[in-house]
Chain A
Amino acid sequence: MTTVSMIPASLPLWHLDTPYPSQDQMCYPDGIEHILAHDGRTDILPFLHDVTIAAHEGRIYIAWYNSTDAEICGSSLIRGRHSDDDGKTWSEPFSIVGKIDSAEEHFVPANLFIHDGYLHATITEMTGKNMTSSVHLFRKGEGDTWSRVGQIQHGFICNTPPIRLPDDPTGVSSTSRYISPAWMPMKNSTPAFPAVLLSQGDDISAEWEPVLLFDPLNPASPRIRCPETTLRVDGNRVFAFVRNDTGPAWVFSSDDFGRTWSSPQHFAPMSVGNSKLFAGTLSDGRRYLIYNEDRGYFERSLLVVAFTAPGESQYSKVYKLFDGVEPAFDRGSKWFYPCAVEQDGFLFVACTLQEPSDQRSAVLAKIPVGSL
């Protein structure tokens, strides 16, 4: 944690010699396919959000949270589906945790990741909307059964999956740690703040150590209402991209595997709206960042992905993923809260579709990596 500067600098994450394209100039990648993975219009549960995706033993898994009423109202539970044919067909929904008929029990949201050959999920439990109480770790067993293997922290929310950190050659940071982005909602007079959680090496069911990106009580700290965070790990350097509802998105950087963090910075000219981002890395070394282009407050109709060149740090290319009314579905027009995984030469980007009829569905963009 460091003292926060009042004047945010800009981190040059966009390639300086490349003009950032206007929204009109952005194109879809060749061969992109739009897939409806879970149709909220025909589901008993009207509210769906925060789709997560993972590839495990040749299968694509997605999971999300449903609420029985509006967002985190009634009860909220984690469900998912899987596909054995790269998204062409999907299993019936399975349940990870939560019950439809429970009162005021909320599991929101889930983040799938693979550890030790097993599919895992970090899942936050709440006692009311944003009243977070604990972060649990779940593991998939036989078939579609899931079991809780431990409580790994208290009242944080994790919106994107943990990432394995590389070994620290200095030995200061323990090896084989996972780092998970997290944030804590406002708790009475303490404002919301972003953080990372660090696992105790390979023992991921033990309590993870929280590291705050800044002290939320420091008068110079930014006030961020929903600091949903995603991480990019470049060796010992970690970037944390944080949603901002009152201006451009923030990025924090750490040069010591997430132990200490820089002051918040912006990353113009990338134009990020107030929604969750997702950072990832392709198998060929290209970094990517998925976000809603800024079209106004809560206007989440254009979801895009920016790429670096292999081994490069700065993004230099942007593609559209979903834009307004999509012909494949003949409807739209809000696509948001992305999560992505690479499998079999494709990048699968999952996100929430706000249906015109007010339900929400889980959709995917399937992109041949060779076309990017």
Chain B
Amino acid sequence: MGVRAPKVMDRRFFLKGLGALAGGVALAVTGLGRAVAGVGGVFGAALGPCSSQRRSLILHSLSRIGSMTPDQLERALFESGLSEPFDLGGELSSMVEEGLLGQSVSADGLIYKLTSVGPPAGHTSIDPVLDNLKQQFEAERDYIAQYTESSTGVVPLFLSIRRGPAILMKVNLIVPDVQTAKTVTRNWRKNAHRTHQAVWDSIGEGLPFPKI
């Protein structure tokens, strides 16, 4: 379930709204959500976004999508190609200290939200990407993928598909490291429905796929 680009400009999407922040650099995102503006990503050059640009992106993303975990913010900013990777944790931490963001806790861990300070205006051109992500995050509420640490040094991974309170499928895996866990987590979110179908095809003996 990759990030779909808006259907404009030959499947390229120019982030005009960020132009001023990015020093006038036009930003392009492919259909796969990858930045195509060179090694500097959407902000151009190898320097990456400056702090005010990072903050502006974070605030606008939260304003459009709503509260997010650090993992969701990472995906919204980096995997969608809106920005080259930067120290998101450090930026969030500073923004909380300065009262620009609120930090709360949910069962999924930390959650970041806007405070009354509000987001800066003028980034509407990236809204289609963010709206798409919002839909994706909502759909993923049924595709759960979480990993944690254990004292044995391996990483337990818990994957499930839910529909309301019902758990349709649950898979627990042990993987050797966090990097592998991240990859599997990401792929589960994209492919959980296909995995469910494949499992059923191999064990259902031709019976119809269960509709719950």
Contact = CB atoms under 8 A, between A and B. Distances in A.
Interface in A116-150: 127-134
A163 B151 CA distance: 29
B69 A188 contact: yes
A219 B87 contact: yes
A189 interface: yes
A238 B92 CA distance: 28
A189 B70 contact: yes
Interface string B140-160: 000000111111000010100
A184 B182 CA distance: 19
A188 B89 contact: no
Interface stretch (B10-18, B58-66, B105-113, B119-127): B105-113
A210 interface: yes
A15 interface: no
Q: By DSSP majority rule, is chain A's interface helix, strand, loop, or mixed?
A: loop
Contacts of B172: 104, 128
B105 A215 contact: no
Interface in A132-184: 132-134, 153-156, 184
Interface string B169-194: 01010000000001001000000000
Given A133-B107, A134-B107, A189 B74 contact: yes
Contacts of B104: 210
Contact of B150 (A3, A130, A216, A218): A130
Contact of A130 (B87, B89, B149, B182): B149
A131 B156 CA distance: 10
A3 to B, nearest CB: 7
Contact of B109 (A134, A153, A187, A225): A187
A220 to B, nearest CB: 9
A218 B95 CA distance: 11
Contacts of B70: 188-190, 217
25 contacts: A3-B97, A127-B158, A128-B146, A128-B148, A154-B106, A155-B105, A155-B107, A184-B105, A184-B109, A187-B69, A188-B69, A188-B146, A189-B70, A189-B74, A190-B69, A190-B109, A210-B104, A210-B105, A212-B105, A216-B110, A217-B89, A217-B110, A218-B89, A219-B89, A225-B149
Interface of B: 69-71, 74, 87-90, 92-93, 96-97, 103-110, 146-151, 156, 158, 170, 172, 182, 185
Given A155-B107, A212-B103, 19 more contacts: A104-B172, A128-B148, A128-B172, A129-B150, A154-B106, A155-B109, A184-B109, A185-B148, A187-B109, A188-B146, A188-B185, A189-B74, A192-B149, A210-B104, A215-B96, A217-B90, A218-B93, A219-B87, A219-B90
